[in-house]
Structure 1
C-alpha cells in the first residue's frame, strides 16, 4: 500500500522538477520588444497676451511669436510623424497658429503650414545627410516655446532663421563634438527668391555634461532676383552652463554684415546679445530672467532687408522675468513680463503717439506629446 502511494507522489515531484527546468522561459531571458522606428509627436501652445502700452491687437512688427495682443490665441500647434531606424530617417510635420501667420507671411500659401518635411540617410558611420525643410542651425531658441528658457523669444531669435530648406550633412566626430555643413535656399526661405544658394555651418562642442558651446554661421545673397546683390555674413555664438542642480546660465552673441547696393559703400552691420539666468525654485517651479540688446545700422534685417542710407538706426534693449510651473512632464504653464526701451520713439503709446518704451505680459499653457 505504501508503495502504491509513493509511486504517484514521486511522479508528481519529478514532473514539477521537469516543469521548472523545461517550462516557460524565465522573464529575464525574454527579449524586450524592439521600439518602433515610427513615432507620432505633437505640441500646442495657447496664450493670452496683454500689452501694457498701446492699443493695437498686434505687437511690434519685429516680434513674431505670441504676437497677438489683448486676446486669447493659439501661438503654434504642431502634429507630425518621425521615422528613424538608425540608417534612414525623416519627418513630416504640419503646424498652424499666430506664429505661422506672422513668421511665414512671405512664404507660398501651399508651404506655410509645413513645420518640417525631410528625408535622410547615413552616407557613412556617424554621419547624416538630410534633404528638405528642417529647423534652423542658428540660434539658442526653438520655434517651440516649451524648449526655450523664456516664454517669448528674444529679439535676436525673432530676427534670425527658425527654419531652413536645403541639404544638411552632420557628422558626430565624437560624443562631445558635432559638425554640420549646409547648402540652403536662403535665410529662412522655403522657396528660393533668387538663383543663388546660401552656405552655412555649425559646430557644437560639449566638453562636459554641464557646458555647451555653439558656433553657427551663414553666408549668402538674400536679395530678390531682380535686385542688386547684397551678400550677407552672419555668425551666432552661444554658451549654456548648468552651474548647479538649480542654477543655469546662458549667453548669446550674434553679429552680421550685409553689403549695400552701391559698390564701395560701407556695409550695414548689426549685433545683438542676450543673457539668461534660470533658477529652479522647487520640484515643479522655475524662474528665468533675461537681458537683451539689439543694434542694427539703418534697421537692416530687423526692419528691412533693403535699407536705404537715410533709414534710422535701430537700438532697443530690455529685460523680462519668466515664471514656469510644470505640473507634469508634458505640460507647462508660464507667465512672463517684458519691457523694451528704444533710443528712438518706435512704439505707439495709448494715444497712438510714438514712445520709447513698450511693455507686455504674456501667459501660456503648452502641451506636448
Structure 2
C-alpha cells in the first residue's frame, strides 16, 4: 500500500507540473476523511456488523470508513481523475478485487468528442451510474447507506458515453462494463455488461433519474442474465427535502429459463432545523426471497424493513458531525445476539467527516 501511494503521488505530481502549463487546463487536489464509531446492540464478538453492510460496519471501535486523496485534471477537451483510498469501506467493499486494485477509489480518463456539444467518452474505474447514494457519506442525506445502496454497485469498470443538453436539464449515458461492481471480469465470462442512465433536472429543486443494468453474472460458461432498474426522485424546497427510490432486479436461475426477483423501496425526508443543523428520517424495505444478492440460508430469504433517524451538525462548510440511530426488522431470525438468533438489529453510529 505504501509503495502504491508513493508511486501514484509521484506520478500525479509530475503530471500536474506539466499539465498545468497547458492552455485552459487545471489540476486540482482534494481529500476526504470519514472517522466513525458504531455500536451494535447485538454486540457481535468479531466486531463486524451484518454482512450486507459495507460502510461504517465495525462495531464498538473507532475507525476510518473512507479516506482518500484525489487528483483531478481538466481542460477543454480532456479530463482525468485518480483517487487512492483506505478505510473499512475499501477493506470490505473491494474484498473480491486483486490487492493492487483494492485501494483505487477512482481512476479514469475522458475525452470530449464534440467541440460544440457536451459529448464525453470516459473510461477506467468510474463511480457507479446507479443510485443516489455514494461512499462519500458527507454528500448523502443520511450517515449510513440504505440497504439498496449497499447491495448495488458503488463503482464500475468500463467505458461511458454521455451527453448533456445545452440547458443542463438532461443527461443521458450508455455504458459498457466488466460486470456488476467489478474491476476484473468473472472467470470464464466473456460477456460485456451494459448500463444506461437518464437524468432530468427540470428546475433547481427537482432531480429525476432512471438507471439500468444488463449483464451475465454466471461464471465458467454458466448463463445467468441479470436485469436491473433503479428509479429515484430528489426534491428540495427551502427547509424540506424528499427522496423516493425504487430498485427492481431479476436474475436468471443457473442454466434454466426461470428467474428470481428482488426489489427495494426507500424514502428519506430531511428538514433544516437551523443554519447548521438538519434532521433526516428514512424508511426502507428490501426483499430478496431467493438470495440473489443477499444470502441468509433461511426459507423466507432476506426480507428486512429498516428505519433510521439522523442528526447533522455542520461544523464548517467542509466538516460535519453526524449521529444516526437505525433499526432493522426481519421476517426471520437472520441476526444474532450472543450466538442466539433474532430478527432485530439496532445500532447507533456517529461520524466526523472532513473534505479538503
Task: Tell me: CA distance 1:81–1:314, structure 2 relative to 1, closer, same or farther (3 Å).
Answer: same
Q: How does 1:1-369 map to 2 (within 5 A)?
A: 37-56=26-45, 57-124=47-114, 125-174=117-166, 175-193=168-186, 194-224=189-219, 226-242=220-236, 244-264=237-257, 266-303=258-295, 312-349=300-337, 351-369=338-356
Task: Tell me: CA distance 1:311–1:221, structure 2 relative to 1, closer, same or farther (3 Å).
Answer: farther
Aligned 8 A contact 2:325 2:349 in 1: yes
Aligned 8 A contact 2:33 2:353 in 1: yes
* Distance in 1 between residues matched to 2:135 and 2:24, nearest whole Å: 28
Aligned 8 A contact 1:131 1:167 in 2: yes
* Distance in 1 between residues matched to 2:252 and 2:185, nearest whole Å: 19
Number of residue pairs aligned between Structure 1 and Structure 2:
328
* Distance in 2 between residues matched to 1:347 and 1:50, nearest whole Å: 15
* Distance in 2 between residues matched to 1:208 and 1:37, nearest whole Å: 29
Q: Secondary structure at the match of 1:191?
A: coil
The Cα of 1:227 is off from its aligned counterpart by 4.9
- Counting strand residues as a fraction of each chain, which structure ranks higher? 2
Q: Secondary structure at the match of 1:287?
A: strand
Over the residues paired in the alignment, what is the CA RMSD in angstroms? 1.5
The Cα of 1:41 is off from its aligned counterpart by 1.0
The Cα of 1:54 is off from its aligned counterpart by 3.1
Q: Which has the larger radius of gyration?
A: 1
Gapped regions of structure 1 (runs ≥ 5): 1-33
* Distance in 1 between residues matched to 2:218 and 2:93, nearest whole Å: 18
TM-score between the two structures when normalised by the length of structure 2: 0.90
* Distance in 1 between residues matched to 2:204 and 2:72, nearest whole Å: 27
Look up the match of 1:18. none
Look up the match of 1:9. none
TM-score between the two structures when normalised by the length of structure 1: 0.86
Report the more deviating stretch, 154-163 or 54-63: 54-63
Aligned 8 A contact 1:299 1:311 in 2: no
